[in-house]
Structure 1
Amino acid sequence: MRFGAVTNSIPRSAALFVNGKSRKGRQQFKKACRLFREAGIELVEAHAVKKPADMPRRVAGAAKRGVPMVIVGGGDGTMSCTVDKIVGLDTVFAALPLGTANSFARTLGLPLDLAGAVKAIADGVPKRIDLGMIDDDYFANCATIGIAPQIAETVPHGLKSWLGRPGYLLWAARQLAAFRPFRVTIEQDGKRQSFEAVELRVANGRFHGGVELVDDAELTSGRIVVQAVIGHGRAGLVWSWLASVLRLPQRHAMTREFEGRSIRIETVPPLPISIDGEVLAETPVTAKVAARAITVAAPREPA
């Protein structure tokens, strides 16, 4: 099948791979299998993958064998490390939210409960969406520079699994005390701008950490959005997050946004980058968009 072809309906045959180390993965695997079969999706193979590092290989193998749809269960990191395995193929990617924040699923508009997500996938429609890129690495939803990589690099093993989002937020509060602002330079269309920032969000989707932060980021826009929380102190970052959680009209008073197909990012000092929750890169980098890169199972729009 040629690249870019999109079927008119969700395939009724699929492979299911669940990250057995995700917060809900192992507990929900058998139930997910049953619910998909009851919804009329034939599972030609289904696995609770014990080693998360094996997820990309499993997804790539199924896609290359011609399985019409690959359902991936896990959190944002699981989605991000597997979406690139179907770029250039006509396999439909279905995200089953079983993580802590589930930001990609939120951006897609999927219900976060298992039964609701299964129904939305089975009754959904194929939709062509963009992926973000950090240099040559595809990602699903959001990459971050600032406090998020610091949290990801230091969070105790198993904390998110034990306590979920509350545990993650408690650790974030602890790390905030040692966090420092940084100097960032944005280069776009030959123009360079430098300023002090406390966080930088490279967004393909609106959500990060389960919170809607970047209103203008859309999965079908053909553009990447870089949003900077500007300032010199930690209080500004706390205010930005709190205002976004509460959806206050002033939530963007301390942010600057840059939008385009390719944006160069430099920081002083060089900083790690969290890509959908996993620290995988370091500045300087080029943020790009891969327009209409994959087909996903998306919920139907309300009538």
Structure 2
Amino acid sequence: MTDIKSAALVINAKSRKGQKLFKRACKRMDELPFPVDAHAVENPAHLDRTVRAALAKKPDLLILGGGDGTISGLVDLMVGHDVILGVLPLGTANSFARTLGIPIDIDGAIAVLRDGKPMRIDLGMIDGDYFANCAAMGISPQIAETVPHGLKKVLGRIGYLGWAAVQFAKFKPFTLIVGEGDGAERLRVVEVRISNGPYHGGTQMVDEAAVDSGEIVVQAVRGHVKRRLVKNWAASFFGHDARHEDTVSFRGKNLRVDTIPRLPISIDGEVLAHTPVQAKIAAGIIRVMAPIPGPVQPAPTQPA
């Protein structure tokens, strides 16, 4: 274990499991060999200022409790600080935790905080906005923009699947443009994933993406009909190699991404941008506490 002398914990109490598990997490963290200054934030609008206040005290470890959207929304604040990120997965999909190999139960995640090793990892970027795991265009932003909060909190991934079926009926394929000028590539697609890691929606989708690769991956599901997307989702969920049959990937340090028509982009579940954008990588920009031997070991795909 690294020499950690102090830690701060900030939990999004509006995340799916936040309120329920805050007290339990605090009790378990009393067993850690360093003090933890814990904060449960009821109003998500106050998360930024709570994290800023925690960082001002210069802890060795900042533990963020919530889902992928919480982590992506707050990780920008850590850039430039000499602090290690700790992850307490309390969301619906917990894709970032799965990418790092962090168990998605409280006890397992806290064991990583105690016994793990700090690893330097990349962050993705959409224009100037850092993100931890994956951005998406297509049906995912449509679901994220419209899904009732109560449905997500009560039913979790099952609720997402039901809502996805409703939104799927309204969805249409679109044109993806990667690159600029004469060298730009155009293709008809049903979904696009801009990935810093292999998991999207809690399922392994983008095998070629890794948090320590130094490159961003843009993966497109090709097709003029929506059944291609259903096929890709099903193959990914069940771990079939066929999930790659209808996909094409682009990778690099900086890729221009546009669509026809212009579309919203969800960043780890939150709609925060619209095409066109620059998809970039910030290589090795933060440290995160991960299980030994490191963040390249995938976590099993299980319901969150």
Q: For 2:20, which of 4, 16, 27 is the aligned residue?
A: 27
Q: For 1:256, which of 248, 267, 273 is the aligned residue?
A: 248
293 and 190 in structure 1: CA distance in 2 versus 1, 3 angstrom threshold: farther
Deviations along 1:30-58, one digit per CA (max 9) or x if unpaired, are: 11111112132311x21110011221221
**Counterpart check, 1:9 vs 2:2:** yes
Distance, in Å, in 1 between the alignment partners of 2:239 and 2:180 is 29
Distance, in Å, in 2 between the alignment partners of 1:218 and 1:293 is 14
Give the corresponding residue for 1:18. 11
Give the corresponding residue for 1:5. none
Q: For 1:208, which of 176, 200, 203 is the aligned residue?
A: 200
Code of the aligned partner of 2:51 = V
Identity rate of aligned residues, in percent?
53
Distance, in Å, in 2 between the alignment partners of 1:120 and 1:190 is 48
**Counterpart check, 1:291 vs 2:275:** no
Residues 111 and 117 of structure 1 are in contact (CA less than 8 Å); yes or no, is this contact kept in structure 2?
yes
Give the corresponding residue for 1:156. 148
183 and 130 in structure 1: CA distance in 2 versus 1, 3 angstrom threshold: same
Code of the aligned partner of 2:9 = L
- After TM superposition, the score normalised by the length of structure 2 is 0.94
Give the corresponding residue for 1:173. 165
Deviations along 1:180-209, one digit per CA (max 9) or x if unpaired, are: 000111007972100101000000011010
Give the corresponding residue for 1:243. 235
Q: For 2:104, which of 79, 92, 112 is the aligned residue?
A: 112
Distance, in Å, in 1 between the alignment partners of 2:228 and 2:203 is 17
Code of the aligned partner of 2:187 = F
Distance, in Å, in 2 between the alignment partners of 1:80 and 1:144 is 14
Total equivalences in the alignment? 294
Code of the aligned partner of 2:12 = N
Distance, in Å, in 1 between the alignment partners of 2:194 and 2:231 is 19
CA RMSD of superposed structures (Å): 1.4
Structure 1 segments (4+ residues) deviating >6 Å: none
The alpha-carbon deviation at position 245 of structure 1 amounts to 1.0
Structure 1 unaligned spans of 5+: 1-7
Code of the aligned partner of 1:98 = L
Distance, in Å, in 2 between the alignment partners of 1:10 and 1:29 is 25
Code of the aligned partner of 1:297 = M
Secondary structure of residue in 2 paired with 1:251: helix
